[in-house]
């Protein structure tokens, strides 16, 4: 009697995952979508524990309860306390934990699999992909929080990575088809090789490519979880893994398209770790000019159209609430205000969307790159807050630039461009920005929250 109820519970959970993911595609319904998917996962977990066939020692139930309690408390407080600037690191960390779980499932279940059983493919694939996702995510985490700085490129690293991957696949093949190789020693060898490959896979990729890497590793974790679903015949686990894997893959493709670069170029020729070209002090590019907060307030107050370009600097300063206040002040004066969102702005896909949603910015005011680029020519003022590489004209004009060919926001087509930065340091890609030396550009130096608060005060006094 338990089995049909369990299957129905898994079906309900799977449907909630699909509907929840659909609702997450819209900012207005994303919160409810997330809660719905979480409710589905809760149903799947409780049904698995309560409706399990066969005797289970009370100690096992106690250990499961303790693990659920510790994981829930730790996850809740971590997510509640994390700053918006640290959200990409948190995503990488959680994603790595998912990969580690998939790998642990394979390690635990391998001794119970009969030699030559077809399900062995799921075990080996789950171990390899889950471990690569875990170690790769940990390297991505270290890069995002600054523990690892520039990309580390070993000599002939492409050849080394390719040989390592081939060796892993050959070992998997031998374990599948030759009983002599099907043992725990080779399984641990595969585990070690997967850890090393995950590190070698991510460590040469530069910081500017991190949004793509996060999406790709996310798809790896989903795929590993799907193999776990095959292993257990668990429909909810299979559905969840497929959704995560496919969503991560599609997002990776979108990110690569936004950067006008094939995935192979990101993996084998990332630009994010270089030192860049040109100087960061303006000595070789030309002169820069400053603008005061008071002058900017007057300029924006008498504009017809203002476009705000948010970047990682806005998140660092936690200035999203102030920028929303400025938006409302300008609109009360009859100024049209929009936000231009580049697909890879920030440190992870959708970072700016989440940041602005936190300050209750109307989602309809967020314009995607393809939609907003034609509007810059008719815009009076563009305010760039903490963004750098996504507005760098070198992507269009400088064939020697590492980011040449990457689609950018055409802010330099506007009448006036104001760039708020703390200093003239290069962006995440490590290259200088020609926009800063454009005659139409004025620099507004200082912490974004402090400067924007002063700007809001000036606007109120006009």
Q: Which positions are catalytic?
A: 389
Query: What CA–CA distance (Å, rounded) separates 118 from 106?
Result: 14
**Of 88, 92, 121, the residue nearest 106 (C-alpha):** 121
Whether the Cβ atoms of residue 339 and residue 367 lie closer than 8 Å to each other: yes
Query: What CA–CA distance (Å, rounded) separates 373 from 370?
Result: 6
Query: What CA–CA distance (Å, rounded) separates 2 from 7?
Result: 9
Q: In 334-367, which positions are buried (b, 16+ CB within 10 angstroms) versus exposed (e)? A: ebebbbbbbbbbbbbbbbbbbbbbeeebeeeebb
**Of 200, 195, 207, 242, the residue nearest 221 (C-alpha):** 242
- With both helix axes pointing from N to C terminus, report the angle between 87-109 and 210-232 in degrees, rounded to the nearest 10: 30
Secondary structure percentages of the chain, helix, strand, coil, to 5? 65, 5, 30
Whether the Cβ atoms of residue 416 and residue 440 lie closer than 8 Å to each other: yes
State whether residue 341 is helix, strand or coil.
strand
Cα dihedral: 112, 117, 119, 121 (round 10): 110
């Amino acid at each position: 009697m338990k089995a049909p109820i369990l299957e129905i519970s898994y079906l309900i959970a799977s449907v909630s995952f699909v509907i929840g993911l659909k609702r997450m595609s819209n900012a207005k319904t994303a919160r409810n979508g997330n809660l719905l998917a979480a409710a589905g996962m809760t149903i799947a977990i409780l049904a698995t524990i309560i409706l399990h066939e066969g005797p289970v020692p009370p100690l096992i139930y106690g250990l499961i309860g303790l693990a659920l309690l510790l994981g829930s408390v730790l996850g809740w407080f971590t997510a509640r306390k994390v700053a918006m600037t640290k959200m990409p690191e948190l995503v990488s960390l959680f994603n790595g934990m998912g990969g580690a779980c998939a790998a642990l499932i394979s390690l635990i279940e391998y001794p119970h699999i009969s030699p030559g059983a077809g399900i062995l493919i799921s075990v080996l694939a789950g171990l390899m992909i889950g471990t690569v996702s875990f170690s790769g995510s940990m390297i991505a985490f270290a890069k995002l929080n600054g523990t690892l700085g520039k990309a580390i490129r070993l000599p002939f690293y492409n050849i080394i990575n390719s040989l390592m991957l081939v060796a892993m696949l050959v070992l998997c093949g031998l374990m599948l088809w030759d009983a002599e190789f099907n043992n725990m020693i080779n399984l641990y060898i595969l585990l070690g090789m997967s850890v090393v490959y995950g590190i070698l896979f991510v460590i040469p990729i530069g910081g500017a490519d991190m949004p793509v890497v996060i999406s790709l590793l996310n798809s790896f974790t989903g795929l590993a979880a799907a193999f776990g679903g095959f292993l257990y015949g668990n429909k909810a686990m299979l559905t969840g893994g497929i959704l995560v894997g496919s969503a991560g893959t599609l997002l990776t493709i979108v990110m690569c398209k936004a950067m006008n670069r094939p995935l192979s170029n990101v993996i084998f020729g990332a630009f994010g770790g270089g030192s860049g070209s040109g100087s960061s002090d303006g000595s070789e590019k030309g002169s820069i000019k400053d603008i005061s907060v008071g002058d900017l307030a007057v300029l924006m107050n008498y504009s017809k159209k203002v476009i705000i370009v948010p970047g990682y600097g806005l998140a660092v300063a936690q200035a999203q609430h102030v920028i929303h206040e400025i938006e409302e002040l300008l609109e009360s004066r009859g100024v049209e205000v929009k936000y231009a969102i580049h697909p890879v702005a920030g440190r992870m896909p959708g970072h700016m969307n989440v940041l602005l949603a936190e300050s209750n910015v109307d989602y309809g005011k967020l314009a995607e790159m393809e939609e907003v680029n034609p509007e810059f020519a008719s815009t009076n003022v563009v305010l760039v807050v903490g963004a750098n590489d996504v507005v760098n004209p070198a992507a269009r004009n400088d064939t020697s630039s590492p980011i040449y060919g990457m689609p950018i926001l055409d802010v330099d087509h506007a009448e006036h461009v104001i760039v708020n930065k703390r200093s003239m340091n290069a962006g995440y890609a490590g290259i200088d920005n020609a926009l800063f030396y454009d005659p139409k550009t004025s620099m507004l130096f200082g912490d974004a929250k402090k400067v924007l608060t002063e700007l809001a005060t000036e606007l109120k006094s006009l």
